[in-house]
Amino acid sequence: MAERMRVIIPLTLAIIVLLLYLNFRSWAETAIVLLSVPFALIGSVWLLFFMDYNTSIAVWVGVIALAGVAAETGIVMIMYLDEYHARYKAEGRLNTAEDIRAAIMEGAVMRVRPKLMTVGTTTLGLVPLLWAQGTGADVMGRIAAPMVGGLITSTFLTLEIIPVIYMYWRTWQLKKEQLAPAPAGTDPRD
């Protein structure tokens, strides 16, 4: 099984990267979303250590599932941020770094409740598996543990860090556009 996992885990990550790129058509946004996976893994490792679980196939299944959920929540955050960025740009309100910050704040705030609801319901559904007893409980607990721990830390990343990184990226883009020379034959005052 360890040999299969050496193939399945990189293949899973490659599929996640491919799907992210096909969704966003941007390597920058793909990279921002992929940042949620290591943050989620930190929570997994902490909870696995706390519960004294060794690495097993069931743990790896939980980690793979967590990687998908972490990427999904990162995608939704980026979509909200993109929506508000595009809205501000269409309205002509995206001229300074402060304008970008305002657009991102508005988009991120709209994502707080759905993110907390997603994490809350998923965590509440999985927590009973951590202390379940009976047939199969030992396996189910090891699948649930990385997901519960990872969801907690990925919540922080998705709500706090992704918007900040996104803001730096969009601010860099704005400065790059402002420094670009005007096309020949156009008046920069127009």
Q: Domain map of the chain by residue range?
A: 2-172
Burial class (CB in 10 A: 0-12, 13-18, 19+), 102: middle
State the pLDDT at residue 189.
Answer: 46
Model confidence over 78-135: pLDDT tens digits? 999 999 999 999 998 888 889 999 999 998 888 888 888 888 898 898 888 888 888 8
Task: End-to-end CA distance of the chain: give it in Å, rounded.
Answer: 65
- For the chain, the average pLDDT equals 86
The yes-or-no verdict on residue 183 having pLDDT over 70 is: no
In sequence order, what E strands does the chain have?
none
Contact 87, 105 (CB under 8 A): no
Matching CATH number, 2-172, of 1.20.1640.10, 3.40.50.1000, 3.40.50.970, 1.10.760.10: 1.20.1640.10
State the pLDDT at residue 38.
Answer: 83
The yes-or-no verdict on residue 187 having pLDDT over 80 is: no
| Average pLDDT of the residues in 4-24 | 85
State the pLDDT at residue 84.
Answer: 93
**pTM of the complete model:** 0.80
The yes-or-no verdict on residue 168 having pLDDT over 90 is: yes
Helix (H, G, I), strand (E, B) or coil at 136: coil
